[in-house]
Amino acid sequence: MRRAAVITHGKPETIGAALERLRAIAEERGVELLFPDEEVEKHGLGRDHGDLAHADLAVVLGGDGTMLRALKRFLGTPVPVIGVNFGRVGFLASIDAASLDEGLGRAFAGDYRVVELPVLEAAAGDERWSALNDVVVTSSSLGRMIELGWAVGGEDLGDLPCDGLICSTPSGSTAYNLSNGGPVLVWGLDAMAVTFVAPHSLHARPLVLPRGRELAITNRTADVSAAVLADGHVVRELPPGGEVVNRLSDERSLLATLPESTFFSRYRRVFTS
């Protein structure tokens, strides 16, 4: 390990002590830390510390939102991302804040493994977006139900009145998808989950789709636009008749974890304790 990029969340006063511990561990191990411009300015580091593309590993000090931001930043590169949890849930982070020194010392010594996680690609017209967690189609008008048509691999599955539809990756299946009764997809599955939000039906059931099957979602509501969200951010408005197509991307995000921090150890910690 020669270089590590650093991504943080919050204000310097909330993460500053952890950053100083990280810098001490890196100096002890002979690891050069690389900071993006916003981190240099945020923490008053005085100068840019190098090109992030040269990093061997990216270290996140933050919660799941910061992890998603870092994973997306390094998407398409060979740089894996490891997290120290300073958030509430921390499902994507493998090191808790109290174990920062030991955990990062091990990571800098190469004692980690890399999990490849599927990524979604959403397309509407000529526009494309990547999503690490989920793509959601929901009503643009708060409190208004919409009617969505859906088709898988070109086969029409009908229209359904609902509050929205979630298409999630395995890493996103434990987020909004889970809270709506969708299936949990264990890391290692090359699939995406499809879950309706508050469907006006007794027969709407979640569906798991393999790679190669596209999900097309059409706004069938006559007088209400729908919004397309990628990882919680609105990226497109779907007018009546508008369509967005979701598929598993050829790209994968690279999540670094300590060997004992498995999917099931995280699942047990977050959802069964």
Residues annotated as part of the active site = 64
Specify burial of residue 53 (Cβ count, 10 A radius: 0-12, 13-18, 19+).
exposed
Nearest-Å Rg of the Cα atoms of the chain is: 20
- Please answer whether residues 35 and 6 qualify as being in contact, where contact means their C-beta atoms are separated by less than 8 angstroms: yes
Rounded Cα distance, 181 and 175, in Å: 10
Q: Which one-letter DSSP state was computed for residue 197?
A: E
- Please answer whether residues 198 and 110 qualify as being in contact, where contact means their C-beta atoms are separated by less than 8 angstroms: no
> For residue 66, how many other CB atoms are within 10 A of its CB?
24
Residues near 19 by Cβ (< 8 Å), separated by ≥ 6?
6, 8, 12, 43, 61
Give the E-state strand segments of 77-203 in sequence order.
81-85, 95-96, 113-124, 127-131, 134-139, 146-152, 155-162, 164-168, 191-197
- Across-strand partners of 273? none
User: How far is residue 58 CA from its own chain's centroid?
Assistant: 15
Quick one: tokens of 85?
Answer: 């949890």
Q: How many CA atoms lie within 13 A of 35 on its CB side?
A: 18
